[in-house]
Amino acid sequence: MPPKALPLHFEWGFATASYQIEGAVAEGGRGPSIWDTFCHLSPSRTKGADGDVACDHYHRYEEDLDLLQRYGAKAYRFSISWSRIIPLGGRDDPLNEEGIAFYNRLIDGLLARGITPWATLYHWDLPQGLHDRYGGWLDVEESQRDFERYARVCYERFGDRVKRWITLNEPWIQAVFGYSTGVNAPGRSSTNEEAAEGDSATEPWIAGKALIMSHARAVAAYNKEFRPTQQGQIGISLNGDYYEPWDGADPRDIEAVERRMQFHIGWFANPIFLQQDYPECMREQLGDRLPALSASDFTILRAADCDFYGMNYYTSQFARHRDEPPSDTDFKGNVDELFENKQGEVVGELSGIEWLRSCPELFRKHLTRVYRLYGKPVYITENGCPCPGEDRMTKEESVEDPFRIKYFEDHLDAIGRSVSEDESVVAGYFAWSLLDNLEWAAGYGPRFGVTFTNYETLERTPKKSALLLQNLIADRIIKG
C-alpha cells in the first residue's frame, strides 16, 4: 500500500501556457510574440504548426474551467500573455484593456468554481516588439526594467485575487533553446543550420542573466510594494533533469553528474535562492562569457526572497564525463547524456516521446536534493507525459491512458517517499497538461494532456487520468 504522506492541505491541479492553448493571436488587442514569428518562419521550424488557433481557449475558457471543476482540481496554473497585456511590451508602451479584461474573466471564473488561480508571468512568449526594439533578452538592462513594469501591471490589476505568482517558466529552456540550439523562439544559434543569426557561445549566458535579473526585479517589487496588502506568495519554475553516473565506480562520472545539474539548475537557483554567484564549475568552464553579477545585482537579489521553488520535472538521465575539452558552444558542463548506463540498464520506461522516460525513484532523489540545497517548499509546477504511441491514436484509444495513470501514481508515490522518509517539504502538484496542445517546436504531435483535443473540431474529451487524479492524490493525503 502506498505511503499516505502528502500533507493535508496539499494543493493540486493542472497547468497550461498561454501560447500553447489560447489562440486568438490577433484578437482583443494582443500584439505578436516571438513565438508567433517563429511559428510562421518558412521553411517551418515547428512541423508546420502554429498557435493562431491552438485550443481556442481564448473563446472557450468557460468550457475549460468547467473541465477543471469536473476533475476536482483545487488549483490551476496558467500563464499570462505579456503581449496581450502590453502589445509592444515596453515600460512606456500602452496597456491593452481588452487583454486585461480577458484575464479578469478567467480569474473570476476560477474563483467562482472554488479553484485557486496560479499565474505565471512569462512562459517563453516575449513580445516581438521588444525583440525588434533591442534584441529582447539579449539586452540585460532594458529587458529587466520592461519585465518589472509588466509584472507591476499584473500585480495591480490581478493581485487582489491572484495570491500565487510564478515569475518565469523554465528560464534554462528560454536561454538555451532560444539562443544556443535555436530550436525554440527566437531561434538564434550559430550551431543550427536553420538559424540565420546568433552566437551560441555567448548569447545563452547573456539571456540567462537577463532572466535572472528580470525575476529578481519582479519579486523585489512584489515584496516591497504589493505583499503587505495582497498577502500573496511568489516563486519561479525551474526545469532540470536528475542525473545518475554512467559508471558509478568512476569518480569522473560522479563529478560529471553534479556538474551537469549545476549547469542545469544551479545556474539560476544559486543566484535566486542562495543569493550566490553562479556555480564555480560554470565560472571555470565559461570564464568571461558568463556575465558578472555585480554588487548592485546582488542588492536586488537579496530583496527578492521567494516563497517557494517551482519544479518542472519529467525525466532523468545518465551523465558520462568527456575527456576532451569543452567546445565554446557547450552548455551541459562537458558531459554526455545517455538513457543507458555502462551496464546497459535503461534509466526508465520509454513514454510517447523519445526524451522522456519514467524514472520515479530518481524523481524522489531530485526532490530531496533540491529541497536540501535551496531550503524552500517545493511545488511541482509541471509533471506528466504522453503515452507510447499516443500521437497516432484515435480519440477512443487516447482516452484509455494507462501509461499516464501509472506515471502519475509512481511520481506521486515518489513525492510521498521524499516527504515521509527524506523530510522534504512538498506543498503541491500540477499535472502537465490540462489539454492536448501545441507542444512548441514538436507541433501538435505529442499529446501531454489529460484531456483529448480534436484539433479540427476543438472538441475536448476527458481521458481516464483526468478523472482519476483526484482519487490518486486523496488516497495519499494524511488525514488528521
Active-site residue, from 382, 390, 409, 439: 382
Q: What nine digits make up the cell of 238?
A: 525551474
Burial class (CB in 10 A: 0-12, 13-18, 19+), 95: middle
> What distances in angstroms separate CA 375 from CA 43, 118, 236, 367, one per listed residue?
46, 21, 14, 11
Q: In whole angstroms, what is the distance from residue 72 CA to residue 80 CA?
A: 23
H or E stretch at 80: none
Q: What angle do CA 208, 209, 210 make, to 5 degrees?
A: 90
Q: Are 371 and 329 in contact (CB under 8 A)?
A: no
Q: What nine digits make up the cell of 299?
A: 542588492
Q: What angle do CA 104, 116, 313 make, to 5 degrees?
A: 110
| Bridge partner residues of 75 (DSSP) | 13, 116
239 — phi, psi (to 5°)? -90, 170
Alpha helices by DSSP H, listed for 279-320, are 280-286, 295-302
Catalytic, 409? Answer no
Catalytic, 324? Answer no
Find out whether the peptide bond into 294 is cis, omega within 30 degrees of 0. Answer: no
Active-site residue, from 170, 390, 409, 439: 170
Burial class (CB in 10 A: 0-12, 13-18, 19+), 328: middle
> What distances in angstroms separate CA 30 from CA 79, 94, 134, 147, one per listed residue?
15, 12, 20, 17
66 — phi, psi (to 5°)? -65, -35
Q: In whole angstroms, what is the distance from residue 254 CA to residue 244 CA?
A: 8
> Catalytic amino acids?
170, 382
